[in-house]
Amino acid sequence: MDVPLALDGIDAESVGLLVRADDHRVDIRLNRPDVRNAQTPALWRSLAEIGRRVKNADPGPSAIVISAEGLSFSAGLDRRMFTPEGVPGEPTFVELAAHGDEALDEFIESAQAGFSWLRVVDPVSIAVVHGHAVGAGFQLALACDVIIAHPDSVFSMRETSWGLVPDLGGTMPMVRGAGYGPALEACATGRDISASELHSWGLALQPQEDPQAAADDLVGKLAATPPGAVPALKHLLGRIDDHPGQYRREREAQRERLRAMARLMA
């Protein structure tokens, strides 16, 4: 029995997402331009729910396109999470650090669920990037199958500047693409990475002056292929050197970093 994709009931707009779906694609647009599309745990939960709906849809779309309003793709995690006041309705990092291993792992795993589905669903996921993609913003782009960026886009993994580590799935594609040494240097320093450098690592397509038009063109080509061929190819290529334990390792490393950071903030 066919189960069409339904997005009703998802708490999207209130957490800063605009979501639209048709027979061929799902468009997810980050929509907090006033804070450069900073991300919150509530946004991650909504992304995870969209992923569950996509997985269960039959027939499903050909592509998932993630883009953003405003000047930047995403400035990363909402910095209120680092303050005593925090994000309303969410635990602060200091509060999280006081939790036991199981509870802390559950929180990080819940955050990861907003990203990890983008590589395992049948549709090809495409990140359309302009401006800055920092920390969680960079990892959201890396979670997608394809990154199409404007030539002036800037990527950076800034977690170490807070005493943390990337824990949303970004470490594995970085090492796969850049290699261990360049990935270590880029993540440890949090330096800016240009769209052309990301392309040279094999982590993004050739930079495009109009990345949205390039993404639309790709979606059209994907929709024109015989049903089932692209999903089969995606899963074949994506599992060549997959390491499922990486998300667990990221959780374990991050919970210790969160506790160390909380001790400094106390």
Please say whether the beta carbons of 53 and 6 come within 8 A: yes
Mean pLDDT, the chain, integer: 92
Q: Which of the two residues, 8 and 175, has the higher pLDDT score? A: 175
Residue-range domains of the chain with CATH = 13-265 (3.90.226.10)
Give residue-wise pLDDT tens across range 112-170: 999 999 999 999 999 999 999 999 999 999 999 999 999 999 999 999 999 999 999 99
Q: Which of the two residues, 76 and 7, has the higher pLDDT score? A: 76
Confidence of residue 1 (pLDDT cuts 50, 70, 90): very low
Q: Global pTM?
A: 0.92
- The pLDDT of 89-112, averaged and rounded, is 93
pLDDT beyond 80 at 47: yes
Residue 232, pLDDT score:
86
pLDDT beyond 80 at 244: no
Confidence of residue 5 (pLDDT cuts 50, 70, 90): confident
Give residue-wise pLDDT tens across range 209-229: 999 999 999 999 999 998 888
pLDDT beyond 80 at 80: yes
pLDDT beyond 50 at 195: yes
- The pLDDT of 12-30, averaged and rounded, is 93
